[in-house]
Chains A and B, each alone.
Chain A
Amino acid sequence: MRHDLHLTGHAFALRPVAVADAAFIVEVRAQGGRFLNRGAATVAEQRKWIELYFARPGDCYFVVESRRDATPEGLVGIYDIDPQARAAEWGRWVLRPGSPAAVESALLVYRCAFGPLALERVVCRTLADNTRVVAFHDSCGLARAPAPITITQDGQPRAAVEHALDRAGWPAVEARLDRLAQRVAVARGPSA
């Protein structure tokens, strides 16, 4: 989906993925570890994937970038947008190793979901083995689905944990994330 959504935070921003980001996507996903789908192995494959993504409805893919110098820090997406249910999933979340953009990129995803996209509910599904990210969603204050779920990774069924946030729960999560994102921005210094 060729969207034009730009979200600006304290230290980081989200901008739409472009074909020119293919090399960065391959690089950062290769550093992302064993919890990501394998995805495109080459820049040419990634370019094709992006062209297909442009034709797919209900899918917003973003580059997370630094406001200081527009350095790309990572990627995140909101997809499977259901206009009737006003619900979607977010994921494809990967950041450069050591990037301090985790808290603010999650904050901006939710701002996008409950703001411009006018969704009522967002879910995220995390491989159960990815304990640090499962803990992150718990720490945000999201509700965990009572039962584990199964998702597919590289064609294989894998145990996963589903978290959900609805519009009613968003203000409390926003307050928590925004306070921390502001502190990261102060430690980072002035933005452009």
Chain B
Amino acid sequence: MNPTPSSIEPDVDALIRAALGLPAGRKVPLVRADIEQWDSLKHMEIILALEDRFGVMFHEDEFPALDSTAAIAAAVCKHLAA
């Protein structure tokens, strides 16, 4: 059975926090527009870390939309279901 976005959001959240050096465990949704450390270099590092963690591969056209925990979890699930 494929995971659901809500089931992988904690993993995605932890991965983004680790990449950006943010404190772990806070219940605040992560949104790129609100986090200045989430620059274009960190964005690529997050994408690589996601691909390693979940065994998926994103296309360039998807990169800009991977801009929050929720959007990333949904995109990962879409790839896993394909």
A contact residues vs B (CB 8 Å cutoff): 98, 100, 102-103, 131-136, 139-140, 177, 179-180, 183-184, 187-189
Contacts and interface: CB of A to CB of B under 8 A. Distances in A.
Nearest to B35: A135
B39 A136 contact: yes
Interface residues of B, number: 17
Interface string B14-42: 00000000000000000000001111111
A98 B57 CA distance: 19
A134 B39 CA distance: 9
B41 A184 contact: no
A187 B63 contact: yes
Contacts of B60: 100, 184, 187-189
Interface of B: 36-42, 44-45, 47-48, 57-60, 63-64
Nearest 6 pairs of A and B residues by beta carbon:
A102-B40, A131-B36, A135-B39, A136-B39, A187-B60, A139-B41
B44 A180 contact: yes
Contact of B48 (A134, A183, A188): A183
Contacts of A133: 39
A165 to B, nearest CB: 14
A189 B57 CA distance: 13
A100 B37 CA distance: 17
